[in-house]
Amino acid sequence: MECNESRQLIEAAIDGELDLLRHIELESHLSGCPECARISEALRARKAALRESLPRFTSPPQLAGKVMAALHADGAPMPASIPKLGPRPMKWPIWIGVGIAASIAFILAAGYQWGNARARSDLLSEEAVSDHIRSLQFNHLSDVTSTDQHTVKPWFAGKIDFSPPVIDLAAAGFPLTGGRLEHLAGRPAAALIFHRRQHAINLFIWPIARNAVSSRRSELAGYHTQSWTQGGFNFLAVSEISAAELSQFSTAFQAANPG
């Protein structure tokens, strides 16, 4: 089993979705490949962190009473454990009570989904910043070093299952300097390397597939991130340059990218 194939199976293995044979093949590869093993352990840790960080919404104790009061407002007897809300309850049609209950359920579900999406975005930004820092610390910014987009783009052919848009932004003050393979959001990704003076910019690119990133900016440990979607791809830029300069980079890339 090769690294590209194994990295596409890691998340399925963690979720228990692989058959026994494929699981054994993957474990055999991980035992002999430190980089794939590191990616597997990092993904397990991020999934565990996601489960711990997801918000849990507990309904207030008076909610049940209000819902039951609305449902029984037509005069039907209420359960003994739910106190009546007054000696002369308002006579509401039953459909109004059902509507109130549905609205409350929708609000709770929407709140949970919003919190879930925000937690995923935070974890994705943390993962991207971690990958950015690692590329700087281990002097591994590029697998292919070139300022020529026509050299960098073909280099990815056959190494990942998509063709990332590659653009040189030297005219805008962000020259392209290379690219490398990465693993982000549980799947293989492309990383394009740009520079702003002495500072590197990692631009992570991967297909939208099921989950599109939100358009947002964040700051973590002095590093800024900016994410967006365009032309069927997710983009996430990370650098220690200012948020304003990273926004200029994002704008320049989107303007030059045909989509």
145 and 252 part of one domain:
yes
Is the residue at 153 inside a domain?
Answer: yes
What is the identity of the amino acid at 147?
T
Is the residue at 90 inside a domain?
Answer: no
* pLDDT tens per residue, range 149-189: 999 999 999 999 999 999 999 999 999 999 999 998 888 99
Provide the β-strand partners of residue 184: 187
- Between CA 178 and CA 211 the distance in angstroms is 27
Q: Domains in the chain: how many in total?
A: 2
- Between CA 187 and CA 43 the distance in angstroms is 10
Residues 31 and 108 sit within 8 Å (Cβ to Cβ)? no
Is pLDDT above 50 for 110? no
247 and 145 part of one domain:
yes
**Residue 35 half-sphere exposure toward CB, CA atoms < 13 A:** 10
- Mark which of 53, 68, 91 sits at the end of a domain: 53
CATH code of the domain containing 27: 1.10.10
Confidence class of residue 117 from pLDDT cuts 50, 70 and 90?
Answer: very low
CATH code of the domain containing 172: 3.30.200.100
Is the residue at 134 inside a domain?
Answer: no
Is the residue at 215 inside a domain?
Answer: yes
Listing DSSP states for 142-171 in one string gives: -SEE-S-HHHHHHHTBTTBSS------BGG
Is the residue at 42 inside a domain?
Answer: yes
From 226, 242, 243, 223, select the one nearest 234 (Cα to Cα).
226
Whole domain around residue 20: which residue ranges?
A: 3-53
Is the residue at 110 inside a domain?
Answer: no
* pLDDT tens per residue, range 54-93: 555 566 666 666 666 666 665 555 555 555 545 555 555 5
- Between CA 125 and CA 192 the distance in angstroms is 17
Give alpha helix (H) positions in 33-93.
34-53, 61-71
Residue 225 vs residue 62, higher pLDDT: 225
**How much is the average pLDDT of 223-236?**
95
Is the residue at 58 inside a domain?
Answer: no
Is the residue at 200 inside a domain?
Answer: yes
pTM score, two decimals? 0.58
Is pLDDT above 80 for 190? yes
CA 157 to chain centre: 25
Structure tokens at 251: 């704008």
> What is the pLDDT, as a whole number, of residue 231?
93
Task: Give the burial class of 169: count Cβ atoms within 10 A of its Cβ; 0-12 exposed, 13-18 middle, 19 or more buried.
Answer: buried
Residues 200 and 20 sit within 8 Å (Cβ to Cβ)? no
Total Cβ atoms within 10 A of residue 192:
28
